[in-house]
Structure 1
Amino acid sequence: MKRICSSSNETLLGLDTGEDCLAKPVQYAEYTIVFVEEGAGIFHADFGAFPFKGPVLLFSTPLQMIYIEQSAPSKLAMLQFHSDFYCIEYHKAQVACNGLLFNNIYIEPSVKLNDREARIFKNLLDELAEEFDVSGCDEIVMRGYLQLFLAKSSSIKTRSAANLPDPEERDEQMEAFRRLLDQHYLTLHKPADYAELLAMSPNNFTKRCTKYFKKSPSAMIQERLILEAKRQLHLTRRSIKEIAYSLQFSDEFYFSRFFKKFTKVSPQSFRQQTGISIVADLPR
């Protein structure tokens, strides 16, 4: 693996072209992008299981539990970056990927590519690999390649989303669940609560949700709460106690147990590993 490291030997930017990368479940402190040039399988990210066929890009956020189950031999390359090297929230004007490629529980964490687009990304990774081999590689140049990679990915994802889906594939009740969850995730924590609001039986609701989002309602409810917790841990300097109360937990210890059960790390460990974004210190 080629890496740029911090003074404490943590990966700031890394490129791994080993075809067995992500063969086993792992958590990285970095944002991770997998370029699948060819092959097929299932991308597992926390509770989600997403079938894929190359060429495709797969995305995961820091400390998600991820691995790839290959159903056909795959040619992979894994690009990783730490938020200390490139903050996607700070650079959102240049690369609108936060909530599109990363940190979105509702859409598949992937970008499907045509052959021409696949060649573009392969060339970018080849050039990045060459830059790693240059003695004293220039971090500004490396950030430029990374920003171009993310911007291109976001552009393709946005164009794909702009194409109206097949009406038969769109489930209006599940779209309503998406809106309800964003409105009530702090107070409604049971699938039955949302089934009642949607006038659906709990069993039907669970089946429709799992089919549409590829995750169960309970997993989505937990993920939505954890997503906000991660956002506050990374983008603010609020204390763990303040974050716990803002998420309506009775105390910081209950919040820490809930967070660790889902992420396998404590809120403090998550903050230490992912860092606090520079946007936390910007005037609001």
Structure 2
Amino acid sequence: MLSIRTIGNEVQTQDNEFYQIFLLRDPMEMTVDFTNYKTAPYSLLCLSPYQHLSWLKGPLTTGWQLLFHGDFYCIEYHKKEVACNGLLFNNIYLQPHVNLGKETYLEIEQLVRKMEKELKVGLEFSDAVVKAYLQLILALSSQVKKHQINLHEIPQQEDIGEGRIFQQLLEANFMREKSVNFYAQHFNLSIDAFSKKIKKQLGKAPSIFIQDRIILESKKLLHLTYQSIKEIAVQLNFDDEHYFSRYFKKNVGISPSEFRSKVGISIAAK
């Protein structure tokens, strides 16, 4: 399932079960999962199901919104993007938006117009054509974002900084270690000093990164596996499934069972 909307000054808070892509011609300010972001002109914003989005301000005069279920588009691409920290979706260490530049923005805008036309026609192979356009949009956007990341990467491996080391530690330990103190001890820092250092380097406190990584993994397991909620709670080292359910609902807004029923289990998991 995919739908396309034009958007203007009426945009409001978004929070639903679909993947969302916003094509934003004008600069915007928004909050995604309670972190503030600013986009440049000609940007693309990508959101996963039940990410919290609030528009703050910006002279939004024109743009597009694509909403689609995760199983709608290319399964291999979707499986890769959901299963780990992808370039566009679900990356807790990167901004959720990418500055496309005017040329790529207009190219993608033309693809969206073609998608909209194909959806209205509704011929036998229209779904396949729309999926191909969507995959091309994701590929073009990923290419731009990857190039921008490469321009800002630190070449000296021995000087990667506490932020990069923290990311590596978190990826290796988040299922077992949920306290900031565990990671602070690795650097021989107090929790306060460590939190200030990570927030300065990465833009968010380590407690938020830990929370986001656990929620990301929870969503992946709920969406891409047939494990029971109890099994997922055990895998993520929660004391019991009730504690896990409360934790998930507090941070996502709905229970794990509701998330699974609305987002669905991808056929890629079979």
- On whether the aligned pair clears a TM of 0.5, the verdict is yes
The correspondence for 2:67, drawn from 80, 85, 89, is 80
Q: Structure 1: state its 5+ residue gaps.
A: 1-11
User: How far apart are residue 47 of structure 1 and its match?
Assistant: 2.9
Is contact 1:233-1:267 (8 Å) kept?
yes
Contact conserved, 2:9 with 2:60, CA < 8 A, in 1? no
State the partner residue of 1:16.
5
Greater strand share, 1 or 2? 1
Q: What is the CA–CA distance in structure 2 between the aligned matches of 1:218 and 1:151, rounded to whole Å?
A: 32
Task: Report the counterpart of residue 16 of structure 2 in structure 1.
Answer: 28
* Aligned-pair CA distance for 1:229: 0.9
Corresponding residue to 1:113 among 97, 100, 122: 100
Q: Deviations over 1:195-231 (max 9, x none)?
A: 2212233333222322333322211111111111111
Aligned partner (choices 133, 148, 151) of residue 160 of structure 1: 148
Counterpart residue type for residue 242 of structure 2: F
| Superposed displacement of residue 134, structure 1 | 2.0
Contact between 1:63 and 1:263, CA under 8 Å: does it hold in 2? Answer: yes
Distance 1:18 1:115 in 2: 18
Q: Is the 8 A contact 1:32 1:81 kept in 2?
A: yes
User: How far apart, CA to CA, are the structure 1 residues paired with 2:154 and 2:268?
Assistant: 39
Q: Name the CA distance, whole Å, in 2 between partners of 1:166 and 1:222.
A: 26
User: Bigger CA drift: 98-107 or 260-269?
Assistant: 98-107
Instruction: Tell me which stretches of 4 or more aligned residues in structure 1 moved more than 3 Å.
Output: 71-74, 95-98, 164-167
Which protein is richer in helix relative to its size? 2
Number of equivalenced pairs: 264
Range moving further from structure 2, 28-37 or 192-201: 192-201
Aligned-partner SS, 2:39: strand
Q: Map Cα deviations across residues 44-87 of structure 1 (whole Å, 9 max, x no partner).
A: 21132221121111111011111222233453211111013125
Percent identical pairs in the alignment equals 35
Task: Tell me the residue number matched to 2:192.
Answer: 203
Distance 1:250 1:202, change over 3 A: closer
Offset of 1:275 from its aligned partner? 0.3
Question: Is the 1:47–1:219 contact (alpha carbons within 8 Å) kept by the matching residues of 2?
Answer: no
Taking only aligned residues, the RMSD between alpha carbons, in angstroms, comes to 2.3
TM-score (norm. length: structure 1): 0.85
Query: 1:92 Cα shift?
Result: 2.4
Residue number in structure 2 paired with 1:144 = 132
Residues 41 and 71, structure 1, Cα contact 8 Å, conserved in 2: yes
2:262 paired with 1:268: no
